[in-house]
Structure 1
Amino acid sequence: MLFPVRYARLLFSVLMSLYMVTIMTGVNTGLAGDFLTRWWRAFYIAWPVAFMLILVGAPRLQQLVGRLVRP
């Protein structure tokens, strides 16, 4: 185990936000000659926003899903 269990929510938020922002900024940037420059600019602007939204929203969404599915 690399991280104590108490960091699970934080680690999930970091990994999920990195995953989503990397893909979404890559798709939205489009492949062109200066792709990496434009992608990096979009990434470093979007990642903190995505991280905070996932950190705050994921537990509430998990609770909602728990109420919407049958046991």
Structure 2
Amino acid sequence: MTPFVPKRFEHVAFGLLLSGMMSFLVSGLSTIIARGVDSGLPMVWLAAWLPSWAVAFPAVLVVAPFVRRILRRIVRES
């Protein structure tokens, strides 16, 4: 695949992919725990995942700089 995201948007693309994957996994697990596995699971999971991602994506973009600052203080050079 040919790269297509400009370097200046790398942090946004990272946040989009990370939040999408994490919210997909967490909403799926939560849906299965709350409801169990049945034939309607995929649609219920999707209905839970999309709003979760809509919250997770901006949250990652806001929280990531704070996490980076914390890590700069607690991680030592090798």
Q: Same fold (TM over 0.5)?
A: yes
Matching of residue 56 in structure 1 with residue 62 in structure 2: yes
Between Structure 1 and Structure 2, whose CA radius of gyration is higher?
2
Partner of residue 3, structure 1: 5
Counterpart selection for 2:53 from 47, 64, 67: 47
Residue identity matched to 2:58: M
Which segments of 5 or more consecutive residues in structure 2 lack a partner in the other structure? none
Which segments of 5 or more consecutive residues in structure 1 lack a partner in the other structure? none
Query: What SS does the aligned partner of 2:39 have?
Result: coil
Partner of residue 66, structure 1: 72
Could you say what the CA RMSD is over the residues aligned between the two structures, in angstroms? Answer: 1.0
Cα distance in 2 between the residues matched to 1:59 and 1:19:
20
Cα distance in 2 between the residues matched to 1:14 and 1:65:
21
Cα distance in 2 between the residues matched to 1:62 and 1:32:
41
TM-score (norm 2): 0.84
Q: Deviations over 1:4-58 (max 9, x none)?
A: 1100111011000111011011111112221011101101111110001101111
Shift of 1:66: 1.2
Partner of residue 27, structure 1: 29
TM-score (norm 1): 0.91
